[in-house]
Every structure is written in C-alpha cells, then in structure tokens.
Amino acid sequence: MLIGDIKITDKNKELLNSKIDMALVVKLLNSDISSYQIGKAIGVSSGNISRLKNKKRKIENLNVKTAYLLSEYAKQIGIK
C-alpha cells in the first residue's frame, strides 16, 4: 500500500496503528534501569538513551520509531 510516495509495510502499519504513551517513556527514562539495558532491549545506542536520561537530549525531539520502541518496552516490563 502507498500513502503518497511512502510505501506502507507491515512493520510501518504496526507503528501507524499503535499508541505511543509518552508518560510511560518519561517514567522509563526516569527509572533506575540503565541506559545500556534499555538500549540493548530496544536496539538503540545506549549513548542516545543516556542523553535522554541525563536531559541532554529533549524527549520532544525523539523520532516516532524510538518513541514507539521506548513506549512498548516500558509496557513490556510493566511500567505503569
């Protein structure tokens, strides 16, 4: 399926149909879970996660995919 010039794959459909819970993302980033552990679990560099945790990178500047992965990981590990 195409939307404009963008091909929508099954993986992209999952992103489009999901809800990103930014409150969970914030709770995850404020938790005691290490940047390394989060990064390894979601496939994002621990440096990027560390910059988010240390407020050197703004959460508002996250791309959709990373926000989605953080939100889903927070749900997966039971953060509420």
Domain positions in the chain: 18-76
- How many beta carbons lie within 10 A of that of residue 29, not counting itself? 19
Q: Residue 19's pLDDT is what? A: 86
Find the helix or strand (DSSP H, E) in which 3 lies: strand 2-3
Identity of residue 57: R
pTM attached to this predicted model: 0.81
Cβ(49)–Cβ(28) below 8 Å: no
Cβ(31)–Cβ(77) below 8 Å: no
Segment 41-57 shows an average pLDDT of 97
Percent with pLDDT over 70 in the chain:
80
Q: For the segment 5-43, what is each residue's pLDDT rounded down to a tens digit?
A: 566 677 667 766 778 999 999 999 999 999 999 999 999
Q: Residue 18's pLDDT is what? A: 76
